[in-house]
Amino acid sequence: MNQSTSTVINTILTVALRNLLAHRRRTFLTIGAIAVGLASLIFLWGFNEGLHRNMLGNFQDAIIGSIQIHHQGFFQHPELSKAIANPQKVVEALRQADVSRYSMRLESFGLAASDITTQGVMLIGMDPLREGEVTQLGKRIGIGRFLAPEDEYTLILGATTANNLQVKLGDEVIIIGYDRFGAMLAESFTLIGIITSGEMGLDKGMAITTLATLQEMVDMTDRITTVVISSEEKRVPSLTAELEAALQGDELEVMPWYSMFPVMKEWVTLHNGFLYLFLGVVLFIVLAGELNTMLISMLERTREFGVLMAIGTTGYQIAGILLVEAVVIGIVGILSGILLGYVIVLFSSNYGIDLSILLGSTSRFYVDPLIYPHLKLDHLGITSGVILIASIFAGLYPAWRASMLQPVEAIRNG
């Protein structure tokens, strides 16, 4: 850019900025509207993200973890014959992928029987020590206690199952199952804990004992069917791919949580879709508000633009003045909105937003009543970028109209 071009650009910028300052009230009202719109969007994104994190975190922490590894086809048809052939190879792959939080399980179907009735259950044998690194199941024991390593033939049931069986802590529960060859087995267990999470999937249909007990019962010592891994949410896709590559050819399936329970992912996508809809509404308001401001500004200054054109300002330069004004309003509005939104999210993420007054039982949806908003940079970027584009669009029409003015008409009628 040569000096004369930069001088002209500086002059155009000066005219635009001076004009914005000359109409401070209007300028700041428009900036304020953009800032409030953006801040509310940022807060909503933050709240939404906090809600999702809370829900998905709870969902994964409850029992399924972030990723599970099984024998091919086990997730769809859980049978003991589909045990992982070489657990050591899986452990090695996890070590190489720098995964330390994992747990082994043996899973099968069975029947839980009391003196009164029977109930179909998913039998899960889990390592009491390692499980705590992967899930938070222990914290959902409302009555009694979680499994201990030294436990033998102790059992944890969900509240609904226990209620159906009409058993209480210390009562005997008979578990009827099958070994890997299909032969029927039965063992007596002592109920030591009842899960009272409020989550339907946990409270009903689950019977949990130690891994060693279940292995002994079904005569599968040192055999497992499931490896449960806990990972940071953003690492889940890459870790899945990494483990898939490492375990290729071993007839294993590496399944992230969203492949096992796609409905949860779809729910999050749908929820985000609502926010995009809201983003659209706010964008429309911002666009309409700024377009209004720019049009008023343009119409008010028709005469001035006519004079500027008469003394040698080109149509492009006139359009440039209005576009600069629109972009400056947009940028200042966006920066103010980011600041305001960030402060609101920061404040609310420290103290949390308590939804217990609004919602009777959120635990049914794996949601804690206290939500901690969390701001994601990509949401911030998308929202700010879209509002900036809206600001430019708001300036385009008045800029185009101003550039098409005829000097004489503008001076005469302005």
Partner 1 sequence: MGNNQDSSIIYLRGLHKCYWVGTMPFPALHGLDLDIAPGEFAVVAGRSGSGKSTLLNIVGALESADSGRVEVLGQDILGMNSEQRTRFRLHNIGFVFQAYNLIRVFTARENVAYVCQLQGKSRKESMEIANHWLHEVEIGHLGYRRPDQLSGGQQQRVAVARALASNPKLILADEPTANLDSMTGRHLIRLMHELNHRFGTTFLISSHDPDVKQAAGRLIKLADGQIVESWEEVPEPPQSLSASCPANHLPLGERVRNYIKTRKQSRARKRRGGNQRRS
Q: Which of 26, 130, 265, 303 binds partner 1 (CB under 8 A)?
A: 303
* Residue 127 DSSP code: -
Q: Which stretch binds partner 1 (CB under 8 A): 87-95, 167-175, 282-290, 404-412?
A: 404-412
Question: Is residue 1 involved in binding partner 1 (CB under 8 A)?
Answer: no
Q: Which stretch binds partner 1 (CB under 8 A): 18-26, 129-137, 142-150, 227-235?
A: 18-26
Q: Which is nearer to partner 1, 17 or 246 (by Cβ)?
A: 17
Question: Is residue 132 involved in binding partner 1 (CB under 8 A)?
Answer: no
Half-sphere exposure of residue 336, counting CA atoms within 13 Å on the CB side? 16
- 196: number of Cβ within 10 Å: 18
**CA–CA gap between residue 224 and residue 217 (Å, rounded):** 13
Q: Which is nearer to partner 1, 28 or 393 (by Cβ)?
A: 28
Q: Which of 1, 3, 181, 351 binds partner 1 (CB under 8 A)?
A: 3
**CA–CA gap between residue 206 and residue 162 (Å, rounded):** 10
Question: Is residue 345 involved in binding partner 1 (CB under 8 A)?
Answer: no
User: Interface residues for partner 1 in 238-297 (CB under 8 A)?
Assistant: none
Question: Is residue 7 involved in binding partner 1 (CB under 8 A)?
Answer: yes
**Chain centroid to CA 255:** 18
Q: Which of 313, 363, 383, 384 binds partner 1 (CB under 8 A)?
A: 313
Minimum Å gap between C-beta 37 and partner 1 is: 28
In our burial notation (b when 16+ CB lie closer than 10 A, e otherwise), range 342-358 reads bebbeebbeeebeeeee
How many residues bind partner 1 (CB under 8 A)? The answer is 29
Helix (H, G, I), strand (E, B) or coil at 135: coil
Q: Which is nearer to partner 1, 2 or 350 (by Cβ)?
A: 2
Q: Which of 18, 24, 77, 234 binds partner 1 (CB under 8 A)?
A: 18
Question: Is residue 307 involved in binding partner 1 (CB under 8 A)?
Answer: yes
Number of H helices, E strands in the chain: 14, 12
Backbone angles phi, psi at 171, to 5 degrees: -70, 160
Cβ atoms of 403 and 313 within 8 Å: the answer is no
Amino acid making up residue 28? F
Question: Is residue 356 involved in binding partner 1 (CB under 8 A)?
Answer: no
Q: Which stretch binds partner 1 (CB under 8 A): 61-69, 232-240, 247-255, 307-315?
A: 307-315
* Residue 68 DSSP code: E
Q: Which of 1, 270, 311, 357 binds partner 1 (CB under 8 A)?
A: 311
Question: Is residue 5 involved in binding partner 1 (CB under 8 A)?
Answer: yes
Q: Which stretch binds partner 1 (CB under 8 A): 11-19, 185-193, 227-235, 244-252?
A: 11-19
Cβ atoms of 319 and 301 within 8 Å: the answer is no
Q: Which of 29, 200, 288, 408 binds partner 1 (CB under 8 A)?
A: 408
Q: Which is nearer to partner 1, 24 or 77 (by Cβ)?
A: 24
Minimum Å gap between C-beta 318 and partner 1 is: 10
Question: Is residue 21 involved in binding partner 1 (CB under 8 A)?
Answer: yes
H helix runs in 67-224, sequence order: 87-96, 128-134, 159-165, 200-203, 211-217
Beta pairing, strands 184-195 & 154-158: parallel
- 298: number of Cβ within 10 Å: 22
**CA–CA gap between residue 265 and residue 144 (Å, rounded):** 33
Minimum Å gap between C-beta 262 and partner 1 is: 59
Residues near partner 1 (CB under 8 A)? 3-5, 7-8, 10-11, 14-15, 18-19, 21-22, 303-304, 307-315, 317, 406-408, 411
